[in-house]
Each structure stands twice: as structure tokens, then as C-alpha cells.
Structure 1
Amino acid sequence: MSAPGQSPENPFPVRGVAIRVAGWIDKLGPVWVEGQIAQLTLRPNSNTAFITLRDPAADMSLSLTCPRDLVTNAPVKMTDGTQVIVYGKPNFYTGRGTFSLRVSDIRAVGVGELLARIERLRRLLDAEGLFDPRLKRPIPFLPGTIGLITGRASAAEHDIMAVASGRWPAVRFEVRNTVVQGPNAVPQIVEALRALDANPEVDVIVLARGGGSVEDLLPFSDETLCREIVRCTTPVVSAIGHEPDNPLCDLVADLRAATPTDAAKRIVPDTAAEQALVNDLRRRSARALRNWVNREQHTLAQLRSRPVLARPLEAINARADEIHRARRAARRDITRLLTAETDRVGHLAARLTTLGPAATLARGYAVVQAVPANGAPHVLHAVADAPAGTRLRVRVSDGAITAVSEGGAGDEE
């Protein structure tokens, strides 16, 4: 036969399982646990207080029970959202089959400790580069639709919508009202942030809340919310609290506004200011254009007033007489040169004529050439060059005659 609880034929009764689970849990020792009070119930005729303790960084909670006096006599007021550290022993109630922690000590987390934890988280996120200015997305100049995450009917919502609509009446809003403090704030804000980021019509998201204590602003320094802001593709503007407040979401957001009103002024341009700027630019451009035209007209007038442009032929006329004088001087010099050269050529021609053979022939001289039968004629230089019978050619001033040599005079003697 199988052991109890190990087969359908020999099952455990409910009480058997409950008693065994209670025994196992009872062996666990007491522990210190930290979390946020999500719900606190004090029944009028009961000495037991019932508390739901929530983990702000995860969607998990734990049921606590404690003596009523432990809550009423606490050094700080225990309300929803209070960060506490409890000391208790795990307990399993067999009658209802529920698990809870029987608390014997409750301590509120002090402001100093909260600030120290925020500082540690700030250093962690900074080391991961989530505060890098290069990750900041630019805010559009004129957003068509603004996603707004804030408390219901809050002053922050009224201020942003009133100021933005006054500056640019055509602006539209996509509002998501959430809890802005307490244990349920982070899940609701993260859900609203994801919904607005997924909406293609939303151009910028504003996370807004009025001022408050360090404990009230704790959700806006939550690690889950900070990482969700970084993951958004839509620019996120943080407008939490007043000027001195500086939760961690201010550092990871794309733009940090000092107040909700400042956020509306920084993301929506002022219609009157932009119209005034346009008018001023138009006046300045028109004045600059007029000045440019006047300056160019003045330059053209100066150019036209110059003599070379006002009377362009005057310079030519002024040089005409000089050109005529130069031409006359050139002609005179050329004529004189030609006359001198003509005289020189005449003198040379006369000398050449005087020295030439024609002049000599004209004075009665003759040139005698021997004309051989088969050779070229040649001038006779001596009597021996023309023996008897040599054909001769005698050139005189007016022509040439032929003759036959009879030999030299000496030969006859």
C-alpha cells in the first residue's frame, strides 16, 4: 500500500495538508521585511490590525497581522503609502488556508534613509548612462497633441491645460488620470506612460504633480518608472513638485520643468509672442531690403555721375586731336625719310651707272669675246687668246658684231 498522499487511493484530507504546511512554515524563523503599506484595516471591535504590504518595485504583496496597539502607538502615522520595515514570523492559518506574517515590530523608514536609497539608485542609473544628455529626445516646437499624466482634477492638470491653451488655443490634450502617491502610483503611471507612448498622435508626454513631502514624491524616484521613461520613444517632460524638488524622473526625462506651469510654457509656444516675433522679423527684413535697394541705387547714381559714364565720347574726343597730330607727324617723318632714301638711291644709281660697263662702252670701248665652236664664249684678255681664224664677238655701246681673228699684229711682222 502506497504512503498517504502519494496515490489517488490513499489521498491526504484537507486538514492533513493544511497541518503539514503549517508545520513547515512554523519552522521558519522571524524575518525583517520592507515595503509600502497598500492597505491598512482597523476593525472597531478587534485587537488585530490587518495590513497589506506591497513591494514598490514589483507587483507583489504580503498579508500582515499585528496587534492594534502596534499601529496606533507607532512613532509616525501609519497610512497607505507609508514605507515601513516590519519584524514578524511567517504563519499559516489552517482554518482558511492563508499565509500571513505575524508582526511584532513596525518601524517607519526615515527621510534620511529614503534619501540615501534614492542617492544610491541615482548613482546606479548614472553609472548605466541613463542621465546621458545624448539620450535626450528633442521637444517638438509645436506639439499637436500633448499626453498628460497627472492626478484627477489636480491643480497641476488645471495649470498645464489653462496655460497651454492660453498660449496656443489649437493644442490638444490626451489626459491620463492616475494616482500620484502611494503604493499604486507607480503601476498606474507606468501603464499610462506606455499607452501614451504607443499613441502615434501624441507628440510629447508630460508627467505632472504638485509639490509634496519626500514620502509623497517617492513614486517619481522609483527605478521601474525611471527605466520606463528611458524606454519611451516619445519625448517625456517631468514637471514634478516645485523648484527645490528633484526626483530621479527629472534626471531621466528629456526635459525637466520646475513646475507644471513652467512645463506648459516650455513645450507650447506663446501665440502672441510668436506673432510679435514674426511681425518683428517682417519689419526687420523689409527695412533691410529697403536699405539694400537704397544702397544699390546710390551706388548706381555714383557710377552714372562719373565722367567716363556720363560723357563716354569726351575721352575719345579729347584724344582725337592728339591722334591727328601724331598722324601728321608720322606722315611728315615718313615723307622725309622717303625723300632722303630716294636721293641716296639716285646717287647710288648714278655711281653705279658711272662705274658700269655700259658707260665704258659708251665712251668707245668694246668687249671682245672668243666664241669657240663647241664651248661657251669667254672674254679675251690677251692677243694669244685669239689666234688666226678664231671667231670673235665684239660688243659695243649699241649692240654686238661678229668677226674672225687674223692673228696678232706681231705675227704679221
Structure 2
Amino acid sequence: MSDPAQGQAPENPYPVRAVAVRVAGWIDKLGMVWVEGQIAQLNLRSSSSTVFITLRDPAADMSLSLTCPRNLVLDAPVRLTEGAQVLVLGKPNFYTGRGTFSLRVHEIRAVGIGELLARIERLRRLLEAEGLFHPRLKRPLPFLPNTIGLITGRASAAEHDVTTVATRRWPAVRFAIRNTAVQGPTAVAQIVEALAALDRAPEVDVIVLARGGGSVEDLLPFSDETLCRAIAACTTPVVSAVGHEPDNPLCDLVADLRAATPTDAAKRIVPDTAAEQALVDDLRRRSARALRSWVGREERHLAQLRSRPVLADPLRMLRDRADEVHRARRTIRKDVTRLVAGESDRIEHLSARLSTLGPAATLARGYAVVQAGTQVLRSVADAPAGTELRIRVADGAVTAVSQGEARD
């Protein structure tokens, strides 16, 4: 069985020098490369002919170590400072003695304003295509925030403007202030961290990102993609008050509200006590005037109704018709009396006729009614001899016994 290849088993390891030499050889094959980034640290020592630079990626938490000749930094087309955006041409190197990687710089170029603006425009189109600027994503600001989260530079004019104006407008307002770098290589990371902390705080109702004006390079952190996406991800409304009126970094477009200046942000976040009191007083006056007008209108309407004859003198119509009612009553009474008298006479006539035709009147004229038992005698055959008869006359009745049919 053959021995394992060197470095592939613990029995046959590489020595450190061999690994370092091999890594250096692989890296050396990369050749010259152009790299863009932001200077995060610049170590220029008067006693050294080599300058050490840390180049940071603005959109990610990554950096590279650079080394370059001193005269290359001093003769650069622009003054190199921390936060400057640069292009460098360098050769990747792996230093076997310390096991470190660096980029040996041979040329340095400053990123021009035109290029920066072009990149910001490309990023703007990308974010717009993703819908981060759409109005439907804009969260409404509370009418009166309980606590305002403020992200700004330490002891900055922007902080003074926001707190002073807001407190003057509404003295009870409170602030949760986070002081961060607002330019330079560390600004984006610090602002994103402060933004996340304030967004998590339940008492914070609105977050203000405030900074005074500056050059395009100074305001670059506020057009950073990482910061823009962090603002879009917030659940708390965010107000962007960066720069002055002409400045328009990308965070203005992503934020829920863009204020022209920090002072303008304070005016738009909290209401003015005096203005609100004046508005309340005006509304009270208008409502009182409207109520008085309504009451007056209803009083006039009631007065018109009461002035109408039917309501002003409800009995007038009865009085006007009283004589007519009395005449009608007399007429009705006469008609009823006449009707009753006529019917009384007719009843008397009928009664007299009935009396004349009745059996009592006939008996009074000398007639009699003969009954055999309960039957009225109608024939001599009905009363043979010996039949008891009852004879009824006008003043009473007598009994008799029949002797049979009489002979003439």
C-alpha cells in the first residue's frame, strides 16, 4: 500500500512554509485588478515609505488591506481622506512571513461626481423597479407622536433644529436620540443599527433621520442600498430630513415622508399648540354660530306656523260655524218632532181601526160568542141536546145547556 500524498493525511502533513508558499503562488496568479471602495482608514506615517489603507465596501461589511508607496498617496489627483470613494489598481499579495493578504496598489483614481451620480441613478431605478418607492408602502404619521426617535450627528445643528422646533410647537413631546456618524465609512452601519433599535422600541411612534446639507460625497451614505432597504423594512414610520431643499438622496424616496430640512421635519411631525388651539377656537365659534343660526331658523319657522289662523285661534272655525250648527240642530229637532207626531197619529188611526175590527167591539154591539168546550160553535150540528155551552157577551160570560136544534 503506497503512502498518502503529502498534506492528505496526518501521517504526511505539509509544513507551514509549504502551505504559505503555495497560497502565495495561487494568489500571485490573479494578476492586476481594479478595485473600488471607500477609504475606511488611512495610516500615513512620516517615518515610513509605505502607506497602509483599509478599503471598505459601502454596501457590505467587508474590507481589504492595501499597501502603496507614500508618494502615490501624496501625488493622488484628489486629497485622500477617510470616507473618500476611490478606484485602485493593485496586485494581490500574500505575505508568507505573517500569513496576511493585502493588495499592493500601483495606481489610485478618485471616483468622479458624475460617476457617483450615475451609480446613484442606477440604484434608484433598481429600487423603483422593486416597488420600494410606491405610495402604497408609505405609512401614515401619527397626529401626535408619543416619542420621536431621532438619528443624527452628535451635537449637530440638525439635532438642535428638530428638538427645539418640535418642543416649541408641542412642549410635551419626547425624544429618543441616537447619535451616529452621518458621513464617512462607518455612517451606514451605525445608522442602520440605530434605525433597527428605534424600530424595535414600542414607545417610538416615528423615526426621523436628520442631517444638514453637504456635498454629494458627504451625503453618499444616505443613498446607500443597505440603508434604503433598512428604511423600507421598518414597521415604524420614517421621516427623511437629510440636507437642504435641493438635496435629494435615495433615502428621501424610500422614507414614508420627505422633509426639506430638519426644521421642516419637526413642523410636519408634531402639531403646533398655538395653531391647534386657534383651530379649536375657530371651530367652536363656527359651531356656535351654526347652532345659533339653526335655532333662529327653527324659531322663525315655528313663529310662521303659530301665526297661521288655524293655530293662532283654533276655536275660530267653530265660532264661525256655531250659528250654522245651531240652525242645523233646530232643523233636525223640528224634523224629528214632526216625524214622531206623524207616526203617533198613524198609530192612533191604526189602533182605532184595529179596535173597530176586534171581537170586543162586535160584542159591544150585542153579539155573543158561543163555545162548546174550547171550540167556537159554528153549526147547530156542533151542539146537540145536552151540550154545555159557554156564551160570552160584552160584559162577561154565562153557561147554558143546548136543547137541540130549534124549530121555527
Superposition TM-score tier, normalisation by shorter sequence: 0.7 to 0.9
The two structures, once aligned, show a CA RMSD in angstroms of 3.3
| Deviation (angstroms), 1:73 | 5.2
Give deviations 1:183-209, integer Å, cap 9, x for gaps.
Answer: 211011112222333344433211012
SS at match of 1:365: coil
Amino acid aligned to 2:229: R
Supply the distance in 2 between the matched residues of 1:379 and 1:243 (Cα, whole angstroms): 140
Do structure 1's residue 233 and structure 2's residue 235 form an aligned pair? Answer: yes
Where structure 2 has 5 or more consecutive residues not aligned to the other structure, the ranges are none
Do structure 1's residue 260 and structure 2's residue 262 form an aligned pair? Answer: yes
Supply the distance in 2 between the matched residues of 1:25 and 1:8 (Cα, whole angstroms): 26
Supply the distance in 1 between the matched residues of 2:230 and 2:338 (Cα, whole angstroms): 110
Give deviations 1:362-403, integer Å, cap 9, x for gaps.
Answer: 2222333332xxxxx333443334343444333332333333
SS at match of 2:361: helix
**Aligned residue in 1 for 2:168:** 166
The more displaced of 168-177 and 256-265 is 168-177
Do structure 1's residue 19 and structure 2's residue 16 form an aligned pair? Answer: no
Check 1:201–1:384 CA distance in 2 against 1; reply closer, same or farther (3 A cut).
same
**Aligned residue in 1 for 2:385:** 388
Where structure 1 has 5 or more consecutive residues not aligned to the other structure, the ranges are 372-376
The more displaced of 291-300 and 158-167 is 291-300
| Deviation (angstroms), 1:262 | 1.4
Supply the distance in 2 between the matched residues of 1:26 and 1:355 (Cα, whole angstroms): 164
**Aligned residue in 1 for 2:178:** 176
Query: After the TM superposition, which residues 368-383 of structure 1 pair with which residues of structure 2 at under 5 Å, given as runs?
Result: 368-371=370-373, 377-383=374-380
Check 1:79–1:357 CA distance in 2 against 1; reply closer, same or farther (3 A cut).
same
Query: After the TM superposition, which residues 13-412 of structure 1 pair with which residues of structure 2 at under 5 Å, given as runs?
Result: 14-44=16-46, 48-68=50-70, 70-71=72-73, 74=76, 77-302=79-304, 311=313, 317-371=319-373, 377-409=374-406, 412=407
Supply the distance in 2 between the matched residues of 1:337 and 1:115 (Cα, whole angstroms): 119
Amino acid aligned to 2:340: L
Supply the distance in 1 between the matched residues of 2:270 and 2:240 (Cα, whole angstroms): 15
SS at match of 2:204: coil
SS at match of 1:36: strand
Amino acid aligned to 1:245: D
Amino acid aligned to 2:385: A
| Deviation (angstroms), 1:304 | 5.2
Amino acid aligned to 1:150: T
| Deviation (angstroms), 1:54 | 0.7
Supply the distance in 1 between the matched residues of 2:90 and 2:399 (Cα, whole angstroms): 172
Supply the distance in 2 between the matched residues of 1:399 and 1:161 (Cα, whole angstroms): 137
Give deviations 1:335-361, integer Å, cap 9, x for gaps.
Answer: 111111101111111122222222222
Give deviations 1:98-151, integer Å, cap 9, x for gaps.
Answer: 211123444444445444443444444445443343443332222343222122
Supply the distance in 2 between the matched residues of 1:312 and 1:127 (Cα, whole angstroms): 80
Supply the distance in 2 between the matched residues of 1:111 and 1:340 (Cα, whole angstroms): 130
Amino acid aligned to 1:407: G
SS at match of 1:203: strand
Amino acid aligned to 2:204: V
Give deviations 1:263-322, integer Å, cap 9, x for gaps.
Answer: 111012222212221222222233333334444444555555555555555555555544
**Identity across matched positions, percent:** 79
For normalisation by structure 2, the TM-score amounts to 0.84
The more displaced of 115-124 and 325-334 is 115-124
Supply the distance in 1 between the matched residues of 2:329 and 2:401 (Cα, whole angstroms): 67
Amino acid aligned to 2:403: E
Supply the distance in 1 between the matched residues of 2:9 and 2:174 (Cα, whole angstroms): 66
SS at match of 1:331: helix
Give deviations 1:150-179, integer Å, cap 9, x for gaps.
Answer: 223433233323322332333333332222
Amino acid aligned to 1:330: I
Check 1:131–1:398 CA distance in 2 against 1; reply closer, same or farther (3 A cut).
farther
| Deviation (angstroms), 1:258 | 1.9
Supply the distance in 2 between the matched residues of 1:109 and 1:388 (Cα, whole angstroms): 172
Supply the distance in 1 between the matched residues of 2:133 and 2:113 (Cα, whole angstroms): 24
The more displaced of 393-402 and 307-316 is 307-316
Supply the distance in 1 between the matched residues of 2:385 and 2:136 (Cα, whole angstroms): 133
